[in-house]
Amino acid sequence: MLLKNKVIFLTGGTEGIGFECAKVYQTAGAQLSIISNSEESIKQAAEKLSGETLFIMADVSVAADMERAVAKTATNFGRIDVIHNNAGISNPSKAVHETTGEEWDNLFNINVKGIYNTTRFGIEELKKTRGNILNTSSLVGEIGQQIHAAYSATKGAVNALTKSMALDYAPYGIRVNAVAPAGVWTPMLRAWSRQQPDSLIIANYLNEIHALGYCPEGDVVADACLFLVSEQARFITGCILPVSGGAELGYRRVINQSI
Q: pLDDT (tens digit, 9 = 90+) per residue, 6-20?
A: 999 999 999 999 999
200 falls in which pLDDT band (50, 70, 90)? low
Low-confidence winner among 79-83, 85-89, 114-118, 188-192 (lowest mean pLDDT): 188-192
Domain tally, the chain: 1
CATH number for the domain including 52?
3.40.50.720
- Supply the residues annotated as catalytic: 151
Average pLDDT over residues 217-225: 90
Domain presence at residue 255: no
Residue 146: predicted pLDDT: 86
**249/164: higher pLDDT:** 164
The residue segments making up the domain with residue 148 are 7-183+217-245
Average pLDDT over residues 64-86: 98
Domain presence at residue 202: no
**249/70: higher pLDDT:** 70
Residue 188: predicted pLDDT: 72
Domain presence at residue 76: yes
Q: pLDDT (tens digit, 9 = 90+) per residue, 26-56?
A: 999 999 999 999 999 999 999 999 878 999 9
User: What sign results for the dihedral spanned by CA atoms 50, 56, 57, 59?
Assistant: negative
Domain presence at residue 207: no
Burial environment of residue 17 by CB neighbours within 10 A (0 to 12, 13 to 18, 19 or more): buried
Domain presence at residue 190: no
Residue 251: predicted pLDDT: 47
Domain presence at residue 50: yes
